[in-house]
Structure 1
Amino acid sequence: MKKILILIFPLFLFSLNATAQDSIQVIKNSLNDQLTETFEKSNSYQEYKVIKKVKLATLKRNILDTVAALEKNINSQEEALGIRNKEIDSLRKNLNDTKQNLAISKEKEDGILFFGTLVSKVTYNTIMWGIIIVLLAISGFLFYRFLNSHKITNAAQLKMAEMEIELEDYRRNSLEREQKLRRKLQDEINKNRKG
């Protein structure tokens, strides 16, 4: 049994080596070259080509291997393409998020919260200067009214003082007249008593 194994084992290695060389040779040749070689080395019978079964099987195996390798390559490229598409979609999403965040940041940078509402700095400045101008106008109007009413009050106080002086003069004059009339009345009473 050992002798048989010893004899079969080198044959097995030789056939494996020969098959490996065939497959290496097949790999070196393209399918087109292999088809051309098979067609050229085949025999002709009337209008038919006779191809050896071994060559046909080898060609079939090589074609199937090539197709399998190409399919595997296509699948791996499709997977890589799918991964790249996912990465591109992820990057696009990140880019859109970044753009939105940038727009929000610019809006916040260019804006001011005013009564809970985000307004642009230009609008805020316009509102503030408008309020300041309105307040200055109201203050100016009230100051003018104050000065005007102060003048009127001063004029009224001056007239009142003049009227008080006139009233005092009138009282004094009335008192003097009254006193003169009482004297005259007393003088008349005294004349009538004497006379």
Structure 2
Amino acid sequence: MKVKQLFIAITLCFSIVASAQNVAKNANLKLKEGPIDEQFEFIIQNSNKYKNYKVVKRVWIEKLQKNVADSINAIRKDFDAEVAKVATQQSEIEKLKADLAAVNQKITDLNTEKDSISLLGLQLSKGSYQTLMWGIIAILAILWLFFAYKFKSSNAITKEANAKLTETEQEFEEHRKRALEREQQVRRKLQDEINKNKS
């Protein structure tokens, strides 16, 4: 009977030691690989109870503390990296905005240049240019009509003056012929009188 009790006691001790080793291995595995919330859950569930308290192994608490500090440091590094990334992206966005503004200004300038015509160094819109050109054409047409009217009027006056000049020349020619005939007659008469006086 004593042998049987001894055997049971030895078996029970081995099973307790094996169970403790299994829990220790499981604890190391859970505290190394699991997320922080699972590590907390593991410590809460596998801690011993004493009245209303939990008795937690110091090694587990220190491991959990180290894991939390490592997680916080990793999160802080990720956060710093993300802040740097955001700052870089923000500077790139500002540069792209400046480039976009420059491109938009260039497009505006090109559209203005496309929709305008340079005349004597001035940029005029196509509408203003057309208005100016049609205005110049209208002024030139009015001037042409005015000068054509003046030319026609002057031409009529010139023709009338030429006609009067021709008429005057004809009258003068007739007057000259008559004067010449009278002079010839007077000379003949004078010659006749001279001839009479001689005889």
TM-score normalised to the size of structure 2?
0.70
Residues 131-169 of structure 1: CA distance to partner in whole angstroms, max 9, x if unpaired? 222222222222222222211211111111111111111
Matched, 1:34 2:40: yes
Contact 2:116-2:123 at 8 Å conserved across structures: yes
Shift of residue 120, structure 1, vs aligned partner: 1.4
Contact 1:35-1:59 at 8 Å conserved across structures: no
Matched, 1:151 2:156: yes
The structure 1 segments of at least 4 consecutive aligned residues displaced by more than 3 Å after TM superposition are 15-21, 35-38, 40-45, 48-53, 186-194
Q: Where do 1:167-182 residues align within 5 Å? A: 167-182=172-187
Mind listing any 5+ residue stretches in structure 1 that lack a counterpart?
Answer: 1-14
Q: Where do 1:1-195 residues align within 5 Å? A: 19-25=28-34, 27=35, 29-30=36-37, 34=40, 41=47, 52-194=57-199
Provide the C-alpha distance between the structure 1 equivalents of 2:131 and 2:175, rounded to a whole number of angstroms. 64
Provide the C-alpha distance between the structure 1 equivalents of 2:161 and 2:40, rounded to a whole number of angstroms. 128
Shift of residue 19, structure 1, vs aligned partner: 3.4
Larger relative CO (CA 8 A, sep 6+): 1 or 2?
Answer: 2
Shift of residue 71, structure 1, vs aligned partner: 0.6
Provide the C-alpha distance between the structure 2 equivalents of 1:104 and 1:93, rounded to a whole number of angstroms. 16
Q: Which amino acid is the alignment partner of residue 32 of structure 2?
A: S
TM-score normalised to the size of structure 1?
0.72
CA distance 1:42–1:62, shift in 2 (3 Å): farther
* Secondary structure, aligned partner of 2:175: helix
Q: Which amino acid is the alignment partner of residue 152 of structure 1?
A: I
Provide the C-alpha distance between the structure 2 equivalents of 1:159 and 1:16, rounded to a whole number of angstroms. 143
Mind listing any 5+ residue stretches in structure 2 that lack a counterpart?
Answer: 1-23
Identical aligned pairs, as a percentage? Answer: 34
Contact 1:112-1:121 at 8 Å conserved across structures: yes
CA distance 1:132–1:16, shift in 2 (3 Å): farther
